[in-house]
């Protein structure tokens, strides 16, 4: 039975941001983020000691300084853009729309409670993560399910699957990149958020496919349903095909590392320094794992990444903004909400 739009709620999930750029607020945010067992997947005691005594105290001042370089009058770009996305969808939908951040405010619990007040027959959960990862999509979904269970809400949840290969998402992403291809460039770099390789293995539902062979991501497997590496490779190839880019004109790398674990390769930071020496002097960079600009795109890539590339001998660095509130992206979200096969 189809639920009328006016009787539905839609919850948009995103990562979150500190309340402000004050070191104490950034420390509190990092504390909540890194204590998540799906982000720092070690024993609770070791995780707590590591976060409380080492990571949060030493990383918070540096992270706060980084946030200050991108903070707006309205606040964190991630929160601002997510709120604007919500408003853009609300203007075209009879459903009630709310947002929930996995860490910080407005929280996922706040979003569910807001929707519950309209007595919905169904709530659609749309994680704003195109690709499956235990430290992003999975943790956001599982937290939502836990809150729904604990509060004994009577409305069912309909959770939308990762949309990494959804035609509407691919069209919107290609639409955002296309205007930057008119001039001369040597390479388009797809920079995705990095993951430790153990996260890829833990998410492998077959326990025998991911990272077992060099061609695992292009060999059909049920593991691909939850394989971040396969999904980002698929997004890149499909978007490149839409844009008519030959294989030598684009590449994939992974950014935002933490710790000394073995992470997905190649490393964006290293590649930005190496590329000028390989003849790539004019570079375009896009970050498809993020649908809204944030610290990792605006400061890590558009600021520090650009400086590193130019200092290494590059001559032109162009950061392509996230989808944010582009009309094609808003239309894509409406399509995804209306047409995607739910997870449950």
Question: For residue 264, which of 155, 131, 156 has the smallest C-alpha distance?
Answer: 131
Local confidence band at 340 (pLDDT 50, 70, 90 cut-offs):
low
Q: What mean pLDDT, rounded, does the chain reach?
A: 96
Give the CA-trace dihedral at 329, 97, 33, 288, to 10 degrees.
-10
Annotated domain spans of the chain? 5-163+327-339, 167-320
Nearest to 19 by CA among 99, 57, 81, 75: 75
pLDDT digits (tens, 9 = 90+) for 95-105: 999 999 999 99
Distance CA 191, CA 289 (A): 8
Does CATH place domain 167-320 in 3.40.50.300? no
Query: What's the Cα-to-Cα distance from 278 to each of 20, 95, 272, rounded to whole Å?
Result: 41, 51, 11
Q: What is the pLDDT of residues 157-209, one digit of tens each?
A: 999 999 999 999 999 999 999 999 988 999 999 999 999 999 999 999 999 99
Helix or strand (DSSP H, E) at 230: helix 228-243
The CATH architecture to which 5-163+327-339 belongs is 3-Layer(aba) Sandwich (3.40)
Write the pLDDT tens digit of every residue in 25-66: 999 999 999 999 999 999 999 999 999 999 999 999 999 999
Q: Is 307 helix (H, G, I), strand (E, B) or coil?
A: helix
What is the pLDDT at residue 312?
A: 98
Distance CA 42, CA 35 (A): 10
Same fold, 5-163+327-339 and 167-320: yes
And the tokens for 175?
Answer: 């639409």
**Does residue 313 contact residue 283 with C-beta atoms inside 8 Å?**
no
% of the chain with per-residue pLDDT over 90 = 94
């Amino acid at each position: 039975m189809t639920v009328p739009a006016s009787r539905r709620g839609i919850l948009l999930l995103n990562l979150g941001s500190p309340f402000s750029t004050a070191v104490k607020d950034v420390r509190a945010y990092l504390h909540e983020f890194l204590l998540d067992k799906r982000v720092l997947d070690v024993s609770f005691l070791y995780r707590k000691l590591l976060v409380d005594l080492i990571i949060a105290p030493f990383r918070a001042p540096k992270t706060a300084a980084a946030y200050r370089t991108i903070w707006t009058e309205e606040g964190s770009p991630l929160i601002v853009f997510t709120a604007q996305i919500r408003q853009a969808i609300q203007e075209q939908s009879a459903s009630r729309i709310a947002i929930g951040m996995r860490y910080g405010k407005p929280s996922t619990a706040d979003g569910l409670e807001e929707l519950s007040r309209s007595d919905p027959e169904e709530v659609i959960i749309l994680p704003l993560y195109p690709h499956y990862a235990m430290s992003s999509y999975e943790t956001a979904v599982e937290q939502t399910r836990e809150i729904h269970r604990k509060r004994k809400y009577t409305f069912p949840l309909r959770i939308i699957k990762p949309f990494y290969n959804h035609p509407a998402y691919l069209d919107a992403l290609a639409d955002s990149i296309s205007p930057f291809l008119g001039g001369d460039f040597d390479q388009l770099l797809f920079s995705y958020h990095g993951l430790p390789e153990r996260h890829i293995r833990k998410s492998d539902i077959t326990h025998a496919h991911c990272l077992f062979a060099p061609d695992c991501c292009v060999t059909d497997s049920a593991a691909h349903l939850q394989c971040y590496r396969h999904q980002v490779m698929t997004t890149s190839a499909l978007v490149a095909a839409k844009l008519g880019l030959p294989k030598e004109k684009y590449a994939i790398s992974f950014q935002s590392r933490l710790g000394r674990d073995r992470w997905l390769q190649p490393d964006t930071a290293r590649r930005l320094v190496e590329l000028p020496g390989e003849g790539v002097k004019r570079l375009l960079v896009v970050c498809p794992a993020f649908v809204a600009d944030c610290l990792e795109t605006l400061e890590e890539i558009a600021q520090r990444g650009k400086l590193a590339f130019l200092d290494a001998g590059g001559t032109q660095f162009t950061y392509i903004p996230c989808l944010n509130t582009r009309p094609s992206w808003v239309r894509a979200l409406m399509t995804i909400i209306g047409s995607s096969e739910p997870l449950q």
